[in-house]
Amino acid sequence: MIIDAISWFCLMLGCFFCFSGGVGILRFPDFFTRMHAASVTDSLGAILILVGLMFQAGLTLVTVKLAFILLFLLLTGPASSHAMAKAALHSGHKPMNSNTSDDAAKNSASGGDVSNP
């Protein structure tokens, strides 16, 4: 019963973090800032959901397999986001800098997302 409660707490919290990541992807102004939002989904969101599932599975081999999934997710996640960021930079996508970010943030605050051309 208590384990069920902890498990559901982890799952709901994980859902919230994944959802926030999704909202961040829509709301942030340019490619690089959106990537930061996406990385919430595949770090803390994934951790919490998998830990919640581990509580559901109990002390079995399934838990071990979930732990392996988590391990490999946390090892490959940074590699893929690094590859994306570097590819974007190499193909000439300029990150917006702090000076222009104030205006962009104001825009995004007043009405939805602003996509960088």
Partner 1 sequence: MLKTISLSATLMIFWLLMSGIYTPLLIGLGVVSVAFTMIIVHRMNIIDQETHPTHILLNLPKFIVYLFIDLVISSITVVKLVWQVRKPITPTFSTYKIKLKTDVAKVIYANAITVTPGTIAIDLNGDEITVHALVKEGIDDLLTGEKETKVRQLVE
Computed over its alpha carbons, how large is the radius of gyration of the chain? 18
Is 93 within 8 Å of 85 (Cβ atoms)? no
Tell me the C-alpha to C-alpha distance, in Å, between residue 107 and each of 25, 63, 82, 98: 16, 45, 28, 15
Helix axes 2-27, 31-40, angle to 10 degrees: 180
Q: Would you count residue 37 as binding partner 1 (CB under 8 A)?
A: yes
Find the shortest distance in angstroms from Cβ 1 to partner 1: 26
Interface of this chain with partner 1, residues 43 to 102, rule: CB under 8 A = 43-44, 47, 61, 64-65, 68, 74-75, 77-79, 81-82, 85-86, 89, 95-98, 101-102
Q: Interface with partner 1 by CB under 8 A: which residues? A: 17, 20-21, 23-24, 27-30, 32-33, 35-37, 39-40, 43-44, 47, 61, 64-65, 68, 74-75, 77-79, 81-82, 85-86, 89, 95-98, 101-102, 105-106, 109
